[in-house]
Amino acid sequence: MTFWRWLFMVGALAGSAASGLAADAGPGLATAWPTDRLLGGNAFLPPGLIRLQADSVNSPVSLWLDKGAAIWSDASGGSSCKSCHGPLSTMAKAATRFPRLGPDGQTLINLDDQILACRKRTGQTSQLEDDDVLALSAVLHQAAKGELINTQPPKDHEAAWQEHLGRGAQLFATRIGRINLACMHCHEQNIGKQMRSDVISPANPTGFPIYRMSWQRLGSIDRRLRACFSGVQAVMPPPGDPALRDLELYLKVRANGMPLDGPSIRR
């Protein structure tokens, strides 16, 4: 079943029929999937993927972690991430504070945008979703594992930050696409409902970047949000679109105080 067909089924149940949908038990589990909104995506994984995720040798995420650690220390171009920022162990708080406003005090940027800007300053050519950017994002999130999301407005540009947050909140609640669903219909009203092999999570962005089995590679929150636009048959924004950053900000603020547990594996 394709993702959009799965989401169509969710949409069909998000209205009056949703009241009769049971929170089906997970594969091999005697109890139902959780419905708590304050849970990360790992709580909705089957045991096999949990074991794979915990296996540092065989997990596919380890490939990007190894690459990211190597890039962090690579000074072959004259300078390295480490030469500016120090060892990865000192970067534990970095991933917890994005998205944030950029140097102009108006434009919202996420961690991947910041990585791109740093690489550009050192003469490196990269773009969103390339392996180098994802690898660096992976090791920075690994360094921040267990740290609490702490996305806060800057005191000097709070009004601009609040505008971004408001747009993200509005998008989360706005029906879009030919299937006419909003994010909230799945990720607030149908948490824990099982659709074939997928279970609807609260969409708390604690586990990014993610290795999605259907992608067979690591991907960013930007890619995952774009996939949701495609799933409801809406016009898909391009990578890095401001609407994606606004929505990411809303999701991060919504998850403030939750621990980061990525990079992780998803179905």
Domain match, 72 and 169 both: no
pLDDT at 125: 84
Tokens found for residue 119? 């690489």
CA 210, 215, 221, 222: dihedral to nearest 10 degrees?
A: 160
Domain match, 107 and 227 both: no
Structural domain includes residue 148:
no
Beta-carbon contacts of residue 43 (< 8 Å; ≥ 6 apart): 34, 36, 201
> Is residue 61 a contact partner of residue 263, using CB atoms and an 8 Å limit?
yes
Domain match, 122 and 161 both: no
Pairwise CA distance, residues 61 & 241, whole Å:
26
* pTM for this entry: 0.88
* Number of separate domains in the chain: 2
Domain match, 245 and 173 both: yes
- Other C-beta atoms closer than 10 Å to the C-beta of 17 total 9
Domain match, 195 and 261 both: yes
Domain match, 157 and 110 both: no
Domain of residue 139, residue span: 61-143
Domain match, 115 and 196 both: no
Domain match, 134 and 198 both: no
Structural domain includes residue 164:
yes
Last residue of a domain, one of 108, 143, 178: 143
Tokens found for residue 260? 């980061």
Q: From the DSSP assignment, how many helices (H) and strands (E) are in the chain?
A: 10, 7
Domain match, 134 and 171 both: no
First to last CA, the chain: 13
Residue 65, CA atoms < 13 Å, CB-side half-sphere: 18
User: Rg of the chain's alpha carbons, rounded to an integer?
Assistant: 19
In order along its 267 residues, the chain shows pLDDT tens digits of 333 343 334 334 333 323 333 344 444 444 589 999 999 999 999 999 999 999 999 999 999 999 999 999 998 878 899 999 999 999 999 999 999 999 999 999 999 999 999 999 888 888 999 999 999 999 999 999 999 999 999 999 999 999 999 999 999 999 999 999 999 999 999 999 987 678 999 999 999 999 999 999 999 999 999 999 999 999 999 999 999 999 999 999 999 999 999 999 999
Domain match, 170 and 48 both: yes
Domain match, 195 and 240 both: yes
Last residue of a domain, one of 143, 172, 198: 143
pLDDT at 39: 97
Residue 265, CA atoms < 13 Å, CB-side half-sphere: 21
pLDDT at 31: 52
Q: What is the CATH number of the domain that holds 173?
A: 1.10.760.10
Last residue of a domain, one of 143, 175, 200: 143
